[in-house]
Amino acid sequence: MSRFTKQTASYWKQLGSVVRNEFRTIFKDGGVILILIFALIIYATAYSLAYGSQVLRNVPIGVVDECRTPTSRSLIDTFNAGPNTYVAYNPTSMEEAKELFYGRKIYGVVYIPSDYEEKLYGGEQANVAIYADASYFLMYRQVFQEVVTSIGKTGAMVEFQRLIAKGANIPQAQATTQPVIYQSHNLFNPYLGYGTFVMPAIIMVIIQQTMLIGIGIGQPEEILPGLWKIVTMQDLLITDYIDIAGPAAAFVNAGLVTIISICLIWLAKDPFNGFTIVEMGLMAGFSLFGKNMFNIWPIILGTWLYARYQREPFSKYASVALLSTSLAPLVSYMALGSVHASLPLGILSGVIVGFLMPSLSAYTYKVQNGMNLYNMGFACGLFAMMVVPVLTAFGDKPDSAMYWSAGRNTELGFACAMICVVLILMGLFSSDEGVKDVLERYHLLLTTTGRAPNDYLRMFGAGAVLINIGLNGLIGIAYILLVDGDINGPTLGGIFTIMGFSAFGKHPRNIIPVMLGVWLGAYGMHY
């Protein structure tokens, strides 16, 4: 038996032993079972049920017809013709309609006045009142859209008949009543579903909530001291926040940074899309071993100043601001670790970084032309290569650090795996497209190269993206366990990065060969 075969067999034996021990430990801890298993059920069902019916059909409405003519009855028939609404009740008065409305038996009321037909055929403007429930946006949209469309078609038909009666031919009458014909092409949400729109935000909320559950892994009284350790560290790589501050403080820091990022995107009015998920994955991941709730702000401020300098909206550069925080350790070092360390110097360094990165990242993208999904990382790396020699010339010695935790594969690996399983289940069952359609879209996703820009959320919908995020996360966890690695802040950061880019270029077919290549290279170097 060759050395390679023996080594592979040994890896599988070790993996089996690790899996048995991990599961034995997990199911002995009631708290772990409560948090992880119960959370799995809640996320996979409650969230899916809330957004499963992406498109509502057959919304009940009531019509108060005080005209009671063939013309008004014809209008009522149009409300039943479309798929969105149907006339469930014909109340005789608005008071009766109000009772039905507040009793949640109908979600919209149409009032047709007594002079409707008289005004319509007399060439006057006929008024029809619409009352719709705006507390539930989906209901409101369906009722309002269907009723308005029906009224518009009815009005056009009456005018068409009037013109024909006056002697106009059919083409002339059509051109007058419908002067513009439009064609609608829904590019990114062909089903017009609310779930596809809201899922990016929901993904962020799920990740955020799960991170905050990490508080239960550690001791609550250790959180504040742990956070203080995090913000006062120099943060040179590798600084594992789980090692220096404990898992509870590390996850709280990641949660706070993620909240800050979400709020920044919302305030900047930057649209949520696949790249937004990338940003959240990177911010959450790197907040476990380098970014904290304080050292990111000077860089964000610098990018904001650049937007002001260019007289452009900050929304254009919001993503650049967040991704430029890859250099947040420089802020901490210049504020706390440098021989010239001072808080103003740290802030100034961050502002300079944020101001320069938009231009530098635009240049680096032209160099690699979308082949590198980590374009901002590439740009930040080039900047760091220029900064370190300058610091050395002024007497600094920015040596690397090594804070690396081990022995937490059970709780961290299982928690991360549960997040991935939840995301896969939501991808399969949280859409009215059906499991088959979602899987077909995911198959199409797997055929892409992933070359940037590839917004998978807009191209294939939320269901396929959720499956891709979950599967790639499980692959990352499996890889770490197979190579006998440690699941800690830096490796979780790597997994979250993979999961984030799963909405913008990464999928199993293009990440597994790279992982295999790294493993073979490491194996060759070792033996």
User: Which fold would CATH assign to domain 59-177?
Assistant: abc type-2 transporter like fold (3.40.1710)
Residue 129 DSSP class? E
Q: Where are the domains of the chain?
A: 23-51+409-526, 59-177, 220-393
Q: Which segment of 25-34, 64-73, 278-287 scores lowest on mean pLDDT?
A: 25-34
Q: Is 186 left (phi over 0), alpha (psi -120 to 50) or beta?
A: beta
Both tokens of 285, joined, read 């991941």
φ, ψ of residue 406 in degrees (nearest 5): -145, 165
pLDDT for res 181: 47
What mean pLDDT is predicted for residues 58-64?
Answer: 86
Cis peptide before 298 (omega within 30 of 0): no
pLDDT for res 523: 76
pLDDT for res 123: 67
Instruction: Give the Cα separation of 85 and 151 in Å (integer).
Output: 13
Question: For 229-250, what is each residue's pLDDT tens digit?
Answer: 999 888 777 889 989 988 888 8
What mean pLDDT is predicted for residues 38-62?
Answer: 62
Instruction: Give the Cα separation of 248 and 220 in Å (integer).
Output: 7
Question: For 134-156, what is each residue's pLDDT tens digit?
Answer: 666 666 666 767 777 776 666 66
Give, in order, the Cα–Cα distances in Å from 250 to each of 130, 295, 493: 53, 15, 11
Question: For 184-212, what is each residue's pLDDT tens digit?
Answer: 444 455 555 555 555 555 665 665 565 55
Mark 261-299 as b/e (b = at least 16 C-beta within 10 Å). Answer: bbebbeebebebbbbbbbbbbbbbbbbbbbbbbbbbbbb
Question: In this model, does residue 324 exceed pLDDT 70?
Answer: yes
Question: In this model, does residue 502 exceed pLDDT 70?
Answer: yes
Are the CB atoms for 251 and 211 separated by under 8 Å?
yes
Mean pLDDT (the chain, rounded): 79
φ, ψ of residue 494 in degrees (nearest 5): -65, -40
Could you tell me which of 143, 76, 137, 133 has the C-alpha nearest to residue 104?
133
pLDDT for res 345: 93
Q: Which segment of 34-48, 178-192, 336-350, 503-517 scores lowest on mean pLDDT?
A: 178-192
Could you tell me which of 359, 349, 342, 307 has the C-alpha nearest to residue 325?
349
pLDDT for res 180: 45
Nearest-5° angle of CA 255, CA 497, CA 45? 65
State the pTM of this model: 0.67
Could you tell me which of 424, 444, 446 has the C-alpha nearest to residue 435?
424
3-state SS assignment for residue 205: helix
Question: For 439-448, what is each residue's pLDDT tens digit?
Answer: 988 999 999 9
Residues 6+ apart with CB under 8 A from 45: none
One-letter amino acid identity for 69?
A: T
Instruction: Give the Cα separation of 50 and 413 in Å (integer).
Output: 28
Among 76-80, 235-239, 339-343, the range of highest mean pLDDT: 339-343
Instruction: Give the Cα separation of 412 and 410 in Å (integer).
Output: 6
Q: Could you tell me which residue, 125 or 484, shows the higher pLDDT? A: 484
Tell me the percentage of the chain whose pLDDT exceeds 70. Answer: 74
Alpha-helical regions (H) of 86-240: 94-102, 116-121, 137-165, 170-177, 194-213, 223-231
Q: Strand 108-112 to strand 59-65: parallel, antiparallel, or no bridges (unpaired)?
A: parallel
